[in-house]
Amino acid sequence: MSQASAQPPNRIKQLEQMPGLLPEERYYFGYQYGLGHDFLVQYLEGKGVVFNGSSIAEIGCGEGGVLTALADRGASRTLGIDIRQEAIDRASRFFRHFGLQGEFEIHDITGEETPAKWKEKFDFVTLRDVIEHLHETENSLKHVMDFLKPGGYLYVVFPPYYSPFGAHQHLLKTIWGKIPYLQFLPDLLFKPLTSKAKYPVDIPEVASLREIRLTIGKFRSAVKNVGLEIVEEELYFLRPVFKLKFGIPPVKANFLKMIPGVRELVALEASYLLRKPL
């Protein structure tokens, strides 16, 4: 069946007919879909990305909300990858409910070879709030490039580590996690202050991000070293996703691009539209 339509269906309204849907599933899918539908589609198509008839993939697809919005633009093939079985199961369930065709699989791009069925098969790949969690940024980008056809687009979004909550301390849901720039404390203080969390699984994630410390400068260097072309770079004071979560419109900070230290401190999001050379 075709995944394109002149007027995309209201997927949020369709959730009302989805049996057994948990509140957290509705929330996560809802804001992912809203981000894709209300912002990413318009932004990316405005930059020349064509989804109609294209093969698309999302690495770290979560519940598949963004992928649903992109698929609704007429994608011929849709792939969602995550390292969590729960996310894969949820995304598959949403696609089935909407009558969309999609592939969803567990895959770790940092520790597993790219299967032949995915190599150079995709016109568009996205990593949204994923790259900052991956050790060896440059090597991770090389693996992602395996998915892209020559001339294909890669869209990457991440919060720079030294931005107010770039350490993801808010995940801990503790009083210390509410403090911006906590990552500037020395290990002697940072480690004990981040050793407790509402959900213990988030503690090693915060520790891992401290090891990686992905910055705008480091990402630019990795992009250059792997041979990707920068089509567009955007910095934001206020992230586009805040519109969905808090009702606050995005505010760009592109004038900071040429100010190395300041951009790392105050830009809450860095986004890149990249292209694999022909």
Domain boundaries, the chain: 11-160+214-275, 169-208
Question: Which stretches within 15-104 are classed as H helix?
Answer: 23-35, 41-46, 65-71, 85-98
Predicted local distance difference test score (pLDDT) of residue 3: 44
Instruction: Kindly give the interhelix angle for 137-147 and 216-226, rounded to the nearest 10 degrees.
Output: 50
The CATH code that applies to domain 11-160+214-275 is 3.40.50.150
Assign 3-state DSSP to the chain and report helix, strand, coil percentages, each to 5: 45, 20, 35
Query: Using CB atoms within 10 A of its CB, is residue 250 exposed (0-12), middle (13-18) or buried (19+)?
Result: middle
CA distance 68 to 97: 11
Predicted local distance difference test score (pLDDT) of residue 8: 62
Q: pLDDT tens, position by position, for the chain (278 residues)?
A: 344 444 567 899 899 889 999 999 999 999 999 999 999 999 999 999 999 999 999 999 999 999 999 999 999 999 999 999 999 999 999 999 999 999 999 999 988 999 999 999 999 999 999 999 999 999 999 999 999 999 999 999 999 999 999 999 999 999 999 999 999 999 999 999 999 999 999 999 999 999 999 999 999 999 999 999 999 999 999 999 999 888 999 999 999 999 999 999 999 999 999 999 99
Task: Supply the pTM of this predicted model.
Answer: 0.94
Predicted local distance difference test score (pLDDT) of residue 48: 96
CA distance 226 to 38: 31
CA distance 214 to 133: 9
Count other C-beta atoms under 10 Å from residue 201's C-beta: 8
Burial 10-44 (b: 16+ CB within 10 A, else e): ebeeebeeeeebeeebeebbbbbbbbbbebbbebb
Distances (CA, A) of 272 to 16, 47, 49, 63, 117: 35, 11, 13, 22, 26
Distances (CA, A) of 53 to 3, 101, 122: 9, 13, 11
Sign of the C-alpha dihedral computed for residues 183, 189, 194 and 195 taken in this order? positive
Predicted local distance difference test score (pLDDT) of residue 1: 36
Predicted local distance difference test score (pLDDT) of residue 9: 77
Predicted local distance difference test score (pLDDT) of residue 2: 40
Three-state DSSP class for 176? helix
Instruction: Kindly give the interhelix angle for 23-35 and 85-98, rounded to the nearest 10 degrees.
Output: 70
Rounded to 5 degrees, what are φ and ψ at 232?
-155, 140
Predicted local distance difference test score (pLDDT) of residue 129: 96
Residue type, 217: G
